[in-house]
């Protein structure tokens, strides 16, 4: 039964008629609709072919004549940077409170470099096979899931991986939607303290869900420019943190409960939180397909430039937030640094901007989740008769699930860490590892050994991230080699 369900899941969206190889959601060439939650838009893509319709609705990758708009290398750099700026970044100061400053910065650089390497594995395989979506690429994996007669009864390895990746994309996107409602709730709190909306989580989360639900039915062209605004809001937040840090440093008011060098279990949460920000593997192949004069070398140059900027951004944002507010204060705010901002005009502007941007990005993330229903069996009159109702029902169910998730999970840190851990296992380790083993013609033992290490490391970190989803600041304080007071004394 399980085998038949997997086989059905891997083929159900590609029936009637068959879809072309480049059938995933083409990411925006000019408007920044990337998958960073948004990270991410931390990651707006379906790896099955049925998301093409969603792209057409956002008018993001097709010109008015129906042709595909190519992206320059400079535009690609901007798109990848925008893909890494989202709600996942708000938990980085909290996660650094369990990892300490220097190891946290090193982990930011390491996670960015690891993901750049695994992305290029996928890109090289996509160029070799001329298949530019992750699901289609994984569908080419040879062999059976298990050896022997049992393996012959089960679907192929490629079919299983394609279905599994589709499922994981949906799960990760749902985690992002939950985080958006949490952020909207948290950012609105300073403005509703003395009203009925401050009576528990339910009123404010209900308002947030009521705001995003009708937006999901708007023509998405009205929302397609929100990534540029999101980028500006993130830059503005970094500026506020820098100003607060300078103000406290000049007045010798920086908190003492910070650690510059230490070791603890909180490093696991830091890795997962960083992964939530930077993993774009699920949408990178359609982005690569749209690159002007496309070659893996050109894309590699753009990728490393963008990821270099993101490494600096993540390191700076996490360090500034942690050093400005301290471990105790940053840990009392559910892993959302926005709740640590003072109540003044500048901070209030940041909160309002965050609410507006997140509310506008929410419907964009819903697009690929309902795209299979929009595109299934387009020539079937019975399905066409009920299609709009089915899509509307799916949107209501998705918003309802994220609403319940935001009610039950008040902590942004939990969502970001677990979502990031799942991303590490599925998109940093499993997909690139199997593609590197079976689809790249590199028979050397050293390469195969590296792919095995990648699989083991990534899957182990995914499991650890799910289990150890706190920052364990007290353990770090007990094992801190260079604390805040010591560093200032030096």
H or E stretch covering 175: helix 157-188
Q: What is the pLDDT of residue 210?
A: 95
Residue 290 tokens read as 């749209």
Buried b (16+ CB within 10 A) or exposed e, 422-435: bbbbbbbbbbbbbb
Q: What is the pLDDT of residue 227?
A: 63
Q: What is the pLDDT of residue 69?
A: 66
User: What value does the mean pLDDT take over residues 329-333?
Assistant: 87
Residue 93 in this model has a pLDDT that exceeds 90: yes
More confident residue, 70 or 13: 70
Q: What is the pLDDT of residue 224?
A: 59
Q: Find tokens 């430039």 and name the residue.
A: 305
User: What value does the mean pLDDT take over residues 389-403?
Assistant: 92
Give the count of beta carbons closer than 10 Å to the beta carbon of residue 478.
10
Helix, strand, or coil here: 314? Answer: helix
Instruction: Give, as one character, the DSSP assignment of residue 425.
Output: I
Q: Residue 20 to residues 48, 140, 312, 333: CA-CA distances in angstroms?
A: 11, 14, 39, 47
User: What value does the mean pLDDT take over residues 200-227?
Assistant: 83
Q: Is residue 4 exposed (0-12), middle (13-18) or buried (19+ Cβ within 10 Å)?
A: exposed
Residue 111 in this model has a pLDDT that exceeds 80: yes
Give the lowest-confidence range in 70-74, 102-106, 396-400.
Answer: 70-74
Mean pLDDT of the chain: 80
Distance CA 377, CA 375 (A): 6
Distance CA 470, CA 462 (A): 14
Residue 7 in this model has a pLDDT that exceeds 70: no
Q: pTM, whole model, 2 decimals?
A: 0.79
User: What value does the mean pLDDT take over residues 459-468?
Assistant: 92
Give the count of beta carbons closer than 10 Å to the beta carbon of residue 249.
13
Sign of the CA dihedral running 315, 320, 323, 328: negative
Q: What is the pLDDT of residue 485?
A: 56
Give the lowest-confidence range in 58-72, 134-148, 153-167, 301-315.
Answer: 58-72
CA torsion, ordered 186, 191, 196, 200, to nearest 10 deg: 20
Give the lowest-confidence range in 105-114, 137-146, 210-219, 306-315.
Answer: 137-146
Residue 324 in this model has a pLDDT that exceeds 90: yes
More confident residue, 194 or 95: 95
User: What value does the mean pLDDT take over residues 36-49?
Assistant: 36
Task: Band the pLDDT of 308: cuts 50, 70, 90.
Answer: very high
Q: Is residue 88 exposed (0-12), middle (13-18) or buried (19+ Cβ within 10 Å)?
A: buried
Q: What is the pLDDT of residue 305?
A: 94
Buried b (16+ CB within 10 A) or exposed e, 32-41: bbbbbbbbbb
Give the lowest-confidence range in 121-125, 238-242, 278-282.
Answer: 278-282
Among 370, 450, 463, 361, smallest CA distance to 420 is for: 463
Instruction: Give, as one character, the DSSP assignment of residue 252.
Output: T
Give the count of beta carbons closer than 10 Å to the beta carbon of residue 154.
17
Alpha helices by DSSP H, listed for 216-254, are: 226-250
Q: Residue 357 to residues 9, 187, 231: CA-CA distances in angstroms?
A: 34, 12, 10
User: What value does the mean pLDDT take over residues 435-446?
Assistant: 89
Give the lowest-confidence range in 42-51, 119-128, 156-165, 397-406.
Answer: 42-51
Residue 263 tokens read as 């070791």
More confident residue, 223 or 358: 358
Give the lowest-confidence range in 45-49, 355-359, 362-366, 418-422.
Answer: 45-49
Residue 35 in this model has a pLDDT that exceeds 90: no
Q: What is the pLDDT of residue 59?
A: 34
Sequence-separated (6 or more) residues with CB below 8 Å from residue 163 = 6, 7, 9, 10, 155
Task: Band the pLDDT of 180: cuts 50, 70, 90.
Answer: very high
Asked if residue 99 lies in contact with residue 472, where contact means CB atoms within 8 angstroms, the answer is no
Task: Band the pLDDT of 234: cuts 50, 70, 90.
Answer: confident
Residue 33 in this model has a pLDDT that exceeds 70: no
Residue 337 in this model has a pLDDT that exceeds 70: yes
Q: Residue 305 to residues 25, 80, 116, 310, 314: CA-CA distances in angstroms?
A: 24, 9, 10, 9, 14
């Amino acid at each position: 039964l399980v085998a038949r369900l997997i086989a059905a899941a891997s083929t159900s969206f590609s029936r009637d008629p068959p879809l072309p190889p480049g059938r995933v959601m083409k990411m925006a060439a000019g408007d920044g609709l990337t998958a960073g939650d948004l990270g991410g838009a931390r990651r707006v893509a379906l790896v099955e072919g049925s998301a093409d319709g969603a792209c057409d609705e956002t008018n993001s990758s097709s010109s008015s004549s129906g042709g595909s708009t190519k992206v320059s290398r400079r535009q690609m750099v901007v798109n990848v940077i925008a893909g890494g700026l989202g709600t996942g970044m708000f938990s980085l100061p909290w996660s650094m409170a369990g990892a300490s400053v220097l190891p946290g910065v090193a982990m930011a650089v390491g996670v960015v470099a690891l993901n750049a390497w695994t992305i290029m594995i996928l890109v090289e395989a996509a160029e070799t096979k001329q298949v530019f979506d992750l699901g289609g690429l994984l569908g080419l994996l040879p062999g059976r899931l298990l050896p022997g007669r049992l393996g012959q009864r089960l679907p192929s390895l490629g079919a299983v991986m394609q279905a599994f990746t589709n499922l994981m994309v949906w799960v990760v996107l749902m985690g992002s939607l939950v985080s958006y409602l949490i952020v909207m709730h948290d950012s609105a709190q300073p403005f509703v303290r003395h009203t009925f909306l401050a009576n528990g989580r339910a009123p404010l989360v209900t308002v947030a869900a009521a705001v995003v639900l009708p937006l999901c039915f708007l023509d998405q062209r009205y929302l397609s420019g929100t990534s540029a605004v999101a980028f500006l809001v993130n830059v503005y937040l970094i500026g506020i943190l820098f100003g607060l840090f300078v103000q406290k440093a000049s007045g010798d008011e920086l908190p003492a409960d910070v650690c510059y060098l230490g070791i603890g279990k909180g490093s696991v949460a830091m890795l997962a939180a960083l992964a939530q920000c930077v993993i774009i593997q699920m949408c990178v192949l359609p982005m690569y397909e749209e690159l002007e004069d496309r070659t893996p070398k050109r894309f590699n140059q753009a990728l490393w430039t963008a990821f270099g900027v993101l490494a600096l951004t993540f390191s700076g944002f996490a360090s500034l937030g942690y050093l400005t507010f301290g471990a105790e204060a940053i840990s009392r705010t559910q892993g959302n640094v926005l709740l640590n901002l003072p109540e003044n005009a500048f901070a209030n502007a940041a909160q309002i901007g965050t609410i507006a941007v997140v509310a506008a990005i929410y419907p964009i993330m819903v697009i690929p989740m309902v795209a299979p229903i929009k595109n299934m069996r387009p020539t079937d009159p019975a399905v066409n008769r009920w299609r709009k109702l089915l899509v509307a029902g799916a949107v209501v169910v998705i918003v309802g699930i994220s609403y319940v998730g935001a009610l039950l999970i008040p902590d942004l840190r939990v969502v970001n860490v677990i979502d990031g851990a799942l991303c590490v296992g599925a998109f940093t380790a499993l997909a690139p590892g199997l593609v590197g083993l079976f689809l790249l013609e590199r028979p050397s033992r050293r390469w195969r050994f590296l792919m095995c290490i990648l699989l083991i490391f990534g899957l182990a970190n995914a499991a650890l991230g799910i289990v150890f989803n706190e920052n364990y600041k007290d353990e770090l304080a007990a094992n801190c080699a260079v604390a805040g007071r010591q560093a200032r004394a030096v």
